[in-house]
């Protein structure tokens, strides 16, 4: 059977196997980038927090629906962090980071990023519906406010609704995470098709199932913390995870001398 | 018994007992996945699902502890 064009594109790039504890190294590197140039990270974190408050303002007293929207944010976050990948890339090249560095990553000619972002948004919407149904059906009382969610779902005396909600979210998010873990930085850096980037992403997951499961769990943990602090923690969580994701990409898909298509 | 009530003892046993049971379950599933019963992607999916489920359990305990104090 002939290999598809996307697989041929993907195989130009080698993928690396890393030890289980490597996500910690990515986080440390992400933290270093954030401290070296804090304003892009803080502005991204602030934008995410403000968007969350805007959602609460537009859809008040419907937390059974918002719980899915907030957690589903993790699925579209790789696209949201594009400006942070550009920042980390500039920092590793010793370049000066300006507003143009961040904004250039969002230029309309990056149509592959737009296509991928729309696909992730579709997956996120699927989770919002699933989460809302789960909470509506299994919660012992109506969940209209964050306090209700805490009382009726998280701290429910009987049953395992919160653990089940988290585990189901993990199972459904696994294929999306596998498709996106290195795809967005690849699309940003190389002239590769969406399918080629997704296949490379899957290859890194198949080479590193345990470290990347740990990485996905760490992302969920940090995001949960950011949400538990009434979104204030997002000011730090978004840049930390965004920059760290760039380092994960750089580590899992090393620079390849064969691929001379890297964008400036 | 050492200043610990029966209720506190039961709660301690339940909290740590369930946590130990979940870790044991994680170990069994990891072993099964390692022996290629689930394949590499299966391992990844199982670990994310269980990892998040366990994180939910731990978060629940931490939130309860914070609220009680």
Look at chain A and report how many structural domains it folds into: 1
In this structure, is residue B28 part of a structural domain?
Answer: yes
A166 interfaces chain B, CB cutoff of 8 Å: yes
Look at chain B and report how many structural domains it folds into: 1
Tokens of B43: 């391992």
State chain B's mean pLDDT as an integer: 75
Domain span at residue A232 reads 5-252
- CB proximity list for A47: less than 8 A, separation 6 or greater: none
Question: Would the CB atoms of B60 and A178 count as touching at under 8 Å?
Answer: no
B52 interfaces chain A, CB cutoff of 8 Å: yes
In this structure, is residue B44 part of a structural domain?
Answer: yes
B4 interfaces chain A, CB cutoff of 8 Å: no
User: How many degrees, rounded to 5, is the angle at CA B38 between CA B32 and CA B43?
Assistant: 80
In this structure, is residue A28 part of a structural domain?
Answer: yes
Q: A183, A249 in Cβ contact below 8 A?
A: no
The tens place of each residue's pLDDT in chain B, 69 residues long, gives 566 777 777 777 766 776 777 677 667 666 666 665 567 888 888 888 888 888 888 888 888 888 887
Report the residue from A166, A175, A177 with minimal CB separation from B56.
Answer: A166
The pLDDT of residue A250:
96
The pLDDT of residue A243:
97
In this structure, is residue B57 part of a structural domain?
Answer: yes
The CA-atom distances, in angstroms, between B61 and each of A111, B15, B25 are 45, 8, 19
Q: Measure the CA–CA gap between B44 and B48, rounded to whole angstroms.
A: 6
Cα of first residue to Cα of last residue in chain A, in angstroms, is 36
Instruction: Choose the mutation target among A67, A209, A221, A230 for the interface with B, i.e. most B CBs under 10 Å.
Output: A209
Domain span at residue B43 reads 6-68
Report the residue from B44, B47, B53 with minimal CB separation from A178.
Answer: B44
The pLDDT of residue A5:
85
Contacts of B41 in chain A (CB under 8 A): 178, 205-206, 209
In this structure, is residue B1 part of a structural domain?
Answer: no
Count contacts between A and B (CB, < 8 Å). Answer: 83
The pLDDT of residue A68:
86
Contacts of A168 in chain B (CB under 8 A): 49
B64 interfaces chain A, CB cutoff of 8 Å: yes
In this structure, is residue B36 part of a structural domain?
Answer: yes
The pLDDT of residue A13:
92
Report the residue from A170, A209, A221 with minimal CB separation from B40.
Answer: A209
Instruction: Choose the mutation target among B15, B48, B50 for the interface with A, i.e. most A CBs under 10 Å.
Output: B48
SS (H, E, C) chain B: CCCCCHHHHHHHHHHHHHHHHHHHHHHHHHHHHHCCCCHHHHHHHHHHHHHHHHHHHHHHHHHHHHHHC
Q: Which regions of chain A are under pLDDT 50? A: 1
């Amino acid at each position: 059977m002939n290999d598809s064009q996307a697989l041929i594109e993907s195989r130009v790039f080698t993928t690396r196997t890393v030890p289980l504890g490597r996500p910690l190294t990515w986080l440390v590197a992400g933290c270093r980038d954030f401290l070296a140039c804090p304003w892009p990270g803080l502005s991204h974190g602030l934008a995410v927090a403000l968007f969350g408050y805007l959602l609460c303002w537009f859809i008040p007293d419907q937390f059974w629906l918002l719980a899915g929207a907030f957690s589903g944010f993790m699925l579209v976050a790789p696209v949201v962090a594009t400006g942070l990948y550009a920042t980390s890339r500039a920092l590793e090249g010793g370049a000066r980071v300006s507003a143009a560095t961040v904004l250039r990553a969002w230029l309309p000619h990056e149509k592959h990023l737009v296509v991928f972002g729309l696909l992730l948004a579709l997956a996120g919407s699927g989770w919002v519906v699933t989460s809302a149904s789960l909470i509506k059906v299994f919660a012992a009382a109506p969940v209209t406010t964050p306090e209700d969610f805490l009382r009726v779902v998280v701290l429910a005396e009987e049953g395992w609704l919160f653990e089940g909600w988290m585990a189901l979210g993990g199972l459904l998010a696994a294929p999306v995470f596998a498709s996106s873990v290195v795809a967005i930085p690849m699309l940003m850096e190389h002239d590769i098709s969406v399918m080629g980037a997704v296949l490379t992403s899957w290859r890194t997951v198949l080479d590193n199932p345990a470290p990347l499961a740990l990485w996905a769990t760490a992302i969920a943990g940090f995001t949960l913390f950011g949400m538990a602090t009434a979104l204030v923690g997002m000011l730090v969580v978004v840049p930390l995870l965004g920059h760290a994701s760039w380092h994960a990409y750089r580590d899992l898909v090393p620079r390849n001398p064969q691929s001379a298509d890297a964008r400036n | 018994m050492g200043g610990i009530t029966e209720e506190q003892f039961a709660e301690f046993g339940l909290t740590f007992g369930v946590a130990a049971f979940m870790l044991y379950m994680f170990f069994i599933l990891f072993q099964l996945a390692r022996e290629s019963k689930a394949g590499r992607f299966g391992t990844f999916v199982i670990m994310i699902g269980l990892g998040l489920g366990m994180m939910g359990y731990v978060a629940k305990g931490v939130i309860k502890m914070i609220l009680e104090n």
